[in-house]
């Protein structure tokens, strides 16, 4: 799995591969780190990295935002699935006209944030999908009006399934 972790405004690509139960290869940028991980308690993890032991407290404080405490140092880190982030950027880049929003991956509709008839701005969260134990925000690529909402909370969707339709503001004024 590959993620984009943002800390203090700087993005880092993080790729994680489980080599065997509890053992991981973690690549942060070009650096490769081997990690032994044990979940000690709820939100508490014990890590062994290069014969150094770390107790890590990880609390979710937002949809993709985590508060991490390691040896008295505190970090707030935003973590996004790399594929979802790239797709969102691609969909939003220069988008014009009617937008038929489709699911970028298989998952479950966790929350529908907008309803048919709602006005949205570019970047507004429309739907939150839960996939691979991560919450993924589906955002509007344009300013407009939600003219169709086929996403239903607590239902599964496949990659490419229709979620909603956004008509641009200039088209809805007619």
Q: What is the mean pLDDT of the chain?
A: 89
Which CATH number belongs to the domain containing residue 34 in this structure? 3.30.700.30
Are 136 and 158 in the same domain? yes
pLDDT at residue number 120 = 95
Dihedral sign of CA atoms 169, 135, 60, 31 in order: negative
pLDDT at residue number 174 = 46
CB-neighbour burial class of residue 160 (10 A; exposed 0-12, middle 13-18, buried 19+): exposed
Q: Answer with the one of 81, 102, 127 that is the final residue of a domain.
A: 81
Range of the structural domain that residue 141 is part of: 94-172
Which CATH number belongs to the domain containing residue 151 in this structure? 2.40.50.100
Confidence band of 55 (pLDDT split at 50, 70, 90):
very high
Are 8 and 75 in the same domain? yes
Reply yes or no on whether the pLDDT at 95 is more than 70.
no
């Amino acid at each position: 799995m590959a993620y984009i972790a943002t800390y203090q405004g700087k993005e880092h690509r993080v790729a994680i591969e489980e080599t065997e139960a509890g053992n991981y290869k973690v690549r942060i940028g070009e650096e490769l780190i081997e990690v032994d991980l044990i979940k000690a308690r709820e939100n508490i993890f014990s890590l062994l990295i290069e014969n150094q032991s770390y107790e890590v407290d990880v609390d979710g404080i937002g949809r993709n935002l985590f508060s991490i405490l390691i040896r008295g140092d505190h970090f707030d880190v935003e973590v996004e699935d790399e594929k979802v982030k790239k797709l969102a950027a691609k969909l939003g880049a220069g988008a014009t006209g009617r937008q038929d929003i489709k699911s970028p991956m298989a998952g479950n509709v966790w929350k529908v944030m907008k309803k048919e008839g709602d006005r949205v701005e570019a970047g507004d969260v429309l739907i939150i999908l839960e996939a691979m134990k991560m919450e993924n925000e589906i955002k509007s690529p344009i300013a407009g009006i939600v003219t169709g909402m086929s996403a239903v909370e607590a239902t599964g969707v496949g990659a490419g399934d229709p979620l909603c339709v956004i008509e641009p503001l200039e088209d809805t004024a007619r």
